[in-house]
Amino acid sequence: MTKFILNAQELEQIEKEHNWICEFNEINSRYNCGACMYLYKKYGCPATYQEFYDKYTTDEHKGSCYYYGRTPLELKNLAKKLQNIVGDYETPLLTYYKYIVKKLIVCTLDGAKKEKLLKEKIEAKGALYCTEPTPDEDASMGIDYFVHYKKDGSLAFIAQCKPNSFFRGNYNDSLIRDRITALEKEKKCNKTYNVPVLYFIYDKVNNEFISKENGSIAYQLQTLIDKKGKTI
């Protein structure tokens, strides 16, 4: 393939036009795609989507497939898998390729920016500090940050950052499955660390964290969804 020039607005439009999230989730794994948030940090937190994409697609496997990127050919093969799952062969393969790039590159970088902002907010008053999980801890328990008391280093809570779209609607089966998975990961977190898991939710339109009436931006998952993954 010729050098891919990433146009974020075009990729955003492709994502809006094609509701392939359920099909994409069938191929979206660390085995197929690598641990994308880990890779973003491994590459020194690239400032642009293009820089992240370029580093991701030239970071070939040298060991565990989790901790290296994917070549354009590997992404093309993933695009073929997605096309086969969707079953629409009239849509060009390049569109599937761009959809995958949107999910792996654009969404990861955008999420990383929100996590950085959350870290700054948590640490702003000086009483708490954040440490990052390992890729395995992130994948198995959905941990964005361990939050510690500065006075003694003990663990105060676990932070998870999510867009408000994660908690909207009860008719998307894939989204409901993701919420149920979040409940399962929280249960595993509680059993492992015996501290609260707090969710920090940001508005995808204005990029601000959503606060409650008391001014807090921290939410417990059980106040947002029920045991079946439906919003409350």
Tokens standing for residue 20: 């392939």
90 in a structural domain:
yes
Instruction: Decide which of 77, 112, 147 is a domain's last residue.
Output: 112
Q: Does residue 24 surpass a pLDDT of 60?
A: yes
Residues 15 and 91 in one domain: yes
Cα separation, 95 vs 91, in Å, equals: 7
Average pLDDT, rounded, for the chain: 94
Q: Residue 17 sits in which domain range? A: 8-112
CB 146 within 8 A of CB 158: yes
Question: Looking at the domain assignment, is residue 55 inside a domain?
Answer: yes
Instruction: Flag whether 3 is in a domain.
Output: no
Confidence band for 22, pLDDT divided at 50, 70 and 90: confident
Distance (Å) of CA 142 to CA 25, 118, 132 = 16, 15, 12
- Of the chain, the percentage scoring pLDDT greater than 70 comes to 99
CATH number of the domain that residue 184 is part of: 3.40.1350
How many angstroms separate the CA atoms of 53 and 55, rounded? 6
The predicted structure's pLDDT at residue 63: 67
pLDDT tens-digit map of 117-152: 999 999 999 999 999 999 889 989 999 999 999 999
**Does 169 lie in the same domain as 100?**
no
In a domain, 45, yes or no: yes
**Cα separations in angstroms, 98 against 13, 22, 82, 107, 198:** 10, 16, 11, 12, 33
Give the least confident one: 21-35, 56-70, 72-86, 206-220.
56-70
Amino acid at 131: T
Last residue of a domain, one of 81, 112, 143: 112
Residue 209 lies in a domain: yes
159 and 209 belong to one structural domain: yes
* The model's pTM: 0.88
Span 184-229, pLDDT tens digits: 999 999 999 999 999 999 998 888 999 999 999 999 999 999 999 9
The pLDDT of residue 136: 87
At which of 112, 135, 159 does a domain end? 112
Q: How many domains does the chain divide into?
A: 2
- Confidence category of residue 41, pLDDT binned at 50, 70, 90: very high
Q: Same domain, yes or no, for 80 and 131?
A: no
- On whether residue 228 sits in a domain, the answer given is no
Residue 1, pLDDT > 60, answer no
